[in-house]
Amino acid sequence: MKLRIHRRTGQIGWSILEVSTDKTRIMFDCGANLPVLDDRQYEDTVEIPGLTRGKSAFDALFIAHYHFDHCGLMDQINGDIPVYAGSETKEVLGIVSDFVSSPPVAARIQVMEPGFPIQIGDIRVLPVAVRHSALGAMMFLIESGKRKVLYAGDFGDLDIVDYGAMAGVDVMVCEGTNINSPGSVYEQDLEFAASRVMKSTPSNVFVLCQTANIDRIESIYNACGRSGRTLAVDPFTKAVTDRISSINISSAIGFTPNLINEAKSSRTDKYILEGKMKFDSVIDIAKRRDLVCLVRTTLGDFLRLLYRNNKDSISGGTLIYSIWDGYKRAKPVQDFLLLCESCGMKITDLNASGHAARSQMETAISHVRPRAIVPIHTESVNEFRALHNNVVSLREKESFDVEFRIDDKWTLPS
């Protein structure tokens, strides 16, 4: 087997990993560059012969989960290449197509189930469920002949993983988003901290978080109950919670970014048209002081309208920043945070990462016992050398021959 990382290796995001033999070529993930968050106007392209242009030379594409840095370039993949992903990923991408003007990529996805292997040529792929901030996220155990590679995707706490099949793999392709973080903040800790913020805020509270981070939505919803507040969600968030989640947010209310509560003809307002939830207008929301509104960077106009209608509904409020800190380098996020400050909001950082901290990575590596590690999805490649004595830092598009490197080049750990 050979491995090749097709985009920059020392960066978070841009996940595109090729695994091949003499007979079979498979791509794992087709991620776009970060940071973009919800700015759909950002353009990114990838040029890989046989995958995005020319006669198709790949036998399959596997998607680990629905985050943009793992599937954001799926619309550029040749249409005759089979695509496999979990049911949650298919649902979320379908919702995105409903609400924004993006290609309907979900229709081509063949649903895979964790624990059920898929044979593609002479490569066997076993999807393995992991905890992450994307529901239904998976890692992949990849086997061909006597060789095994574990592509870990993005993972948090691995307490749900059965390590039996993956123990002793030849190579672990491992993310390191939080390799410099000694420990993790858990959702329950965030829930209690958020409730304290809500109790101490005299006006409405706004939470900047990923729309499809179901664990986070549930934590914020529970914090609302502890603090006597009401959760407010827009139609997109409501669609996500309805279709991929079992959580009950029955006491939440809906809001539309429109000045008045009217449904437009676009697909964006289909939840208003279908009447699945009553969505209050900006004028209605501006009268309240007891709400916790889930927001995205694309909802800046909603905040501006609130401020113009009744500045007390937002001035004196709090924005809970509940996403990866690295997004603060993105202009859409910077602009959104400046807007919140200009409206008189206090900004409080409160996040529980879906990525493993260093201690969790150490635990995972000790269970998997890989003969070598290839870092990916990290800005700190060299930190891996403290976790394992065989770390291979691949350059962009450099081919890595598992057979040759393992047998002939390395001194393997005992």
The residues facing 402 across adjacent strands are none
Instruction: Give the dihedral of Cα atoms 235, 236, 240, 241; nearest 10 deg.
Output: -40
Q: How far is CA 325 from CA 16, 46, 234, 292, 345, in A?
A: 23, 26, 24, 21, 19
CATH 3.40.50.10710 positions along the chain are 187-349
Per-residue pLDDT of 182-199, as tens digits, reads 777 788 999 999 999 999
Quote the tokens at residue 115: 């624990």
CATH of 187-349, one of 3.40.50.10710, 3.50.50.60, 3.40.50.2000, 3.40.50.11810: 3.40.50.10710
Give the long-range contacts of residues 271-276, CB within 8 A, separation 24 or more.
271/235, 271/238, 271/239, 272/235, 276/238, 276/242
Output the pLDDT for position 344. Answer: 97
What number of CA atoms fall less than 13 Å from residue 239's CA on the CB side? 20
378 burial via Cβ count (<10 Å: 0-12, 13-18, 19+): buried
Output the pLDDT for position 205. Answer: 98
Q: How far is CA 137 from CA 30, 154, 355, in A?
A: 15, 8, 12
Write down how long the chain is.
Answer: 414
Give the 3-state secondary structure of 101-155.
Answer: CCCCHHHHEEECCCCCCEEECCEEEEEEECCCCCCCCEEEEEEECCEEEEECCCC
Output the pLDDT for position 271. Answer: 54
pTM, two decimal places: 0.88
- What is the helix (H) or strand (E) element at residue 292, kind and residue range? strand 291-295
Give the DSSP letter of residue 25.
Answer: E
Output the pLDDT for position 264. Answer: 45
Query: How far, in Å, CA of 67 to CA of 284, rounded?
Result: 33
Segments of the chain scoring below 50 in pLDDT? 36-41, 260-265, 408-414
CATH 3.60.15.10 positions along the chain are 2-181+354-409
Domain 2-181+354-409 sits in CATH at 3.60.15.10
Give the DSSP letter of residue 297.
Answer: G
Output the pLDDT for position 411. Answer: 39
Quote the tokens at residue 284: 């209605």
Output the pLDDT for position 258. Answer: 63
Quote the tokens at residue 130: 């992991």
Per-residue pLDDT of 107-134, as tens digits, reads 999 999 999 999 999 999 999 999 888 8
